[in-house]
A and B are shown apart, each in its own frame.
Chain A
Amino acid sequence: MSAGQVIFLLVGAVTLGSGIAAVNARKMLHAALWLVLSLLGVAFIFALLEASFFAVVQVLVYIGAIAILIIFAVMLSRSSLTDEGTQTNPRWWLAALGLLILFVGICAAILLWPKVTSIPAPLPASATDLATLGKELVNPNGYLVPFELSSILLLATLVGAIYTAVEKKEEIKK
């Protein structure tokens, strides 16, 4: 096993383990912090794939913005921040069954893919050029429509958030 593989296995174990811990944690805050570790693990996997841009954006967006907002919401939501109740419900086996089918399906799909056993050649340095990514995002034959759609989605979210915030303010005035 090469050093890279060992690092990959370690990072994968940490990512999965902290993901499970995020679901299992009794304290909401701990769950949020485990989630941060899990997201950091994903960033490491991106870095191991030499996709440095995605690694950095993963940290910036998921940890810098989303995870911190989750923590913010957790801080504001409950005073005790702990969950005493049971963590499973009686139908847990249904979920487990669905998950098993999904897992087997994904594994089968990956294993049936002919390229999975062969190690691909490393991409040339030009492949990590960000200019290519940028041009492809605004290329009409590339990803222009999804790009614009996601920006419209974000705009709608912004407008919605401002609308709710403003209305609340007026209610207080009355």
Chain B
Amino acid sequence: MAVIWQNILTFLQGVLRFIGDPITILNQWLTGVLSGWGANATLIQVILAILGGASLVLGGLFFTVFLIWLERKVGGRFQDRLGPNRVGPWGLFQPLADMVKIFTKEYITPTGADKIPYNLAPVLSVGAVLAVIAVIPFASTIFGVNINVGVVYLMAVGAIGELGIIMAGLGSNNKYALIAGFRAVANLISYEVPMVLVLLIPVMFSGSLGMNDIARSQNVWYIFLAPLSAAIFFIASIAENSRAPFDLIEADSELVAGFNVEYSGLKFGMFYVADFLHSATAALIFATLFLGGWRGPGAESIPILGFIYLSVKATVVYFLILHIRFTVPRFRIDQMMNFNWKFLTPLALVVLAATAVVDKAIPSNLTALRIGVNWIVNIAIWVAADRLVRVVAPKRVVPEVARPRPLARPPLANPPQAAAEHEPGGEA
């Protein structure tokens, strides 16, 4: 009897250990199995790298199915609807039904389309988003790769995603898609500027460009040290995702569906997946850079806790992105450009310079003082920027974009009596 209890206890301990740090244990186990089969060390490394990459990418893609459901459900609640609620409990299987539908749809290539860019564009946009997942540290032991230039890599991979949208716009042989392509270039290139400037602040605090090092060095969350830069980064990352209120490249009221207007079936589905996955990765990146990543009590010794902490933080950020998407109306293109070049970029420059000075002036072990001074400086910059925009800058008349045109009304056979009586200057 005692032996059985002993065995059960060891088994349970093993299970707990596995749950606590699944990736390392799986890694060790697989290495053991493969070397038992007589594979040499390099081959094992290659096989494990391929397996790891594949599981990360597939995990990301399957997670998207859940994200689509979540976004539709949350969006429904924001707009006083129920959202999907027919297929499965709480409509959970709705995305699966949609998936089957989209798999069976016909591919239509418009005449005059530039075949190679047209077909390459959806692949590039999904690929670029999936490539971002590679550098996100999900926990102290769960990450794709730890390259020492992670932050620059993020921006570089984002550029390839831009290329996908531009290729879709140009290759479709459609005027709406072309306009969306123009807008994509303008939007993505301009918002990259404040984003890169503000990205330098976590780099400056941690002294490293690697995502793992940035997450690990956050004894104080960087949002407490640099609240204004976190806000700028958040806004810029929404704009980089082309999410509402910056979703000008797929403004359905002006451009039908924007850059993906000519796509059908799974090719459209890939843009759809890229869009949802992109905002989820944006939330993860924000949580990693400014909210301490996987850091939290006990996360160092039990890596799975770190994964949970990161998920919770990212969910909060993701909810905020959804909240903004479903409540704020779309900007006009000139408003968007003005906001970026005349407000966000100068603000980011000033914040960067001020934070650098404060960071150098105060030794890093005086945490409370650092937080205090950084907050004072940030608030001062914000108040100055606010005053500058509202008071000092001359109030400009909004240029007329479109004059309301008289509507075409059918001539009425018998004009109503009441209308004739109330006409100004009639009988009087």
A residues engaging B (CB < 8 A)?
A: 27, 29-30, 33, 36, 52-53, 56-57, 59-60, 63-65, 67-69, 71-72, 75, 128, 130-131
Contact = CB atoms under 8 A, between A and B. Distances in A.
A33 B166 CA distance: 11
Interface string B156-189: 1111101100110010000000100110010001
A130 B148 contact: yes
A56 B162 CA distance: 16
B153 A75 contact: no
B300 interface: no
Given A60-B152, A60-B156, A75-B170, A52 B147 contact: yes
A53 B152 CA distance: 8
A68 B117 CA distance: 14
Interface string B218-245: 0000000000000000000000000000
Interface in B4-47: none
A59 B156 CA distance: 5
Nearest to B147: A52
Contacts of B192: 64
Contacts of A64: 155-156, 158-160, 162, 192
17 contacts: A29-B114, A29-B170, A30-B114, A52-B148, A53-B149, A57-B156, A60-B152, A60-B156, A64-B156, A64-B158, A64-B159, A64-B160, A68-B162, A68-B189, A69-B189, A71-B166, A75-B182
A52 B147 CA distance: 8
Nearest to A81: B170
Contacts of A75: 170, 178, 181-182
Interface residues of B, number: 26
B344 interface: no
B209 interface: yes
Contacts, number: 63
A16 B34 CA distance: 39
Contacts of A53: 148-149, 152
B181 A56 contact: no
A151 B159 CA distance: 23
A65 B117 CA distance: 19
Nearest to A128: B148
B43 to A, nearest CB: 11
B149 A63 contact: no
A42 to B, nearest CB: 13
B149 A56 contact: yes
Interface of B is mostly: helix
Given A52-B147, A75-B178, A130-B148, A63 B163 contact: yes
A68 B166 contact: yes
A64 B158 CA distance: 8
Interface of A is mostly: helix
Contact of B163 (A36, A69, A130): A36
Contacts of B189: 65, 68-69
Interface in B99-153: 114, 117, 147-149, 152-153
The 8 A-B pairs at the shortest CB distance, nearest first, are namely: A64-B159, A59-B156, A60-B156, A56-B152, A56-B156, A56-B149, A72-B185, A56-B153
Contacts of A30: 114
A52 B149 contact: yes
A75 B167 CA distance: 11
A36 B157 CA distance: 13
A68 B189 CA distance: 9
B185 A68 contact: yes
Contacts of B170: 29, 71, 75
Contacts of B181: 75
A45 B185 CA distance: 27
A5 B181 CA distance: 39
B222 to A, nearest CB: 19
A75 B114 CA distance: 14
Given A59-B159, A64-B156, A64-B160, 20 more contacts: A30-B114, A52-B149, A56-B153, A56-B156, A57-B152, A57-B156, A59-B156, A59-B157, A63-B159, A65-B189, A67-B163, A68-B162, A68-B189, A69-B189, A71-B170, A75-B170, A75-B181, A130-B148, A130-B149, A131-B207
Given A63-B160, A75-B182, A130-B209, A33 B149 contact: no
A55 to B, nearest CB: 8
A169 to B, nearest CB: 12
B145 to A, nearest CB: 10
A128 B148 CA distance: 9
Contacts of A56: 149, 152-153, 156
A46 to B, nearest CB: 11
A57 B163 CA distance: 16
A60 B159 contact: yes
Contacts of A36: 163
Contacts of A59: 156-157, 159-160
Residue of A52, A64, A68, A128 with most partner-chain B CB within 10 A: A64
A53 B153 CA distance: 9
Nearest to A131: B207
A134 to B, nearest CB: 10
Contacts of A57: 152, 156
Contacts of B155: 60, 64
Contacts of A131: 207
A53 B102 CA distance: 40
A116 B192 CA distance: 41
A106 to B, nearest CB: 29
Contacts of A130: 148-149, 209
